[in-house]
């Protein structure tokens, strides 16, 4: 999920109310987990339709919360100190930030 940190996704999954252990199915909590996010390891065939919808809702809320704007690069440090995250440069002296 572009622009969303892994830990935010993991927190949303854990906070969704689904049985994460069951949702991990055959992959377990460790196994081949190295390098794979919790979202990558979920076994969607092992969860109910209701749990799938809960998961979908919390992940969609993460996407909706994101705000992006273009600022002058001179303002970048102030924005980062205010909780914004640098996304990309635009042209010579502009930057995209989000939170």
Q: What is the mean pLDDT of residues 93-97?
A: 94
Nearest to 6 by CA among 30, 41, 37: 37
Nearest to 48 by CA among 11, 16, 6: 16
Tell me how far apart the alpha carbons of residues 72 and 86 are, in angstroms, rounded to a whole number: 12
DSSP 71: E
Statement: residue 33 has pLDDT above 90: no
Q: What is the mean pLDDT of the chain?
A: 85
Ordered strands of the 94-98 beta sheet: 68-72, 94-98, 85-90
Tell me the percentage of the chain whose pLDDT exceeds 90. 36
């Amino acid at each position: 999920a572009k622009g969303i940190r892994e830990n935010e996704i993991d927190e949303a999954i854990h906070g969704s109310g689904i049985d994460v252990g069951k949702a991990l199915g055959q992959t377990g909590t460790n196994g081949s987990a190295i390098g794979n996010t919790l979202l990558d390891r979920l076994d969607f065939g092992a969860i109910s339709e209701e749990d799938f919808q809960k998961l979908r809702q919390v992940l969609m809320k993460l996407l909706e919360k994101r705000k992006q704007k273009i600022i002058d690069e001179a303002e970048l440090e102030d924005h980062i100190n205010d909780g914004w995250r640098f996304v990309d440069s635009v042209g010579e002296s502009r930057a995209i930030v989000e939170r």
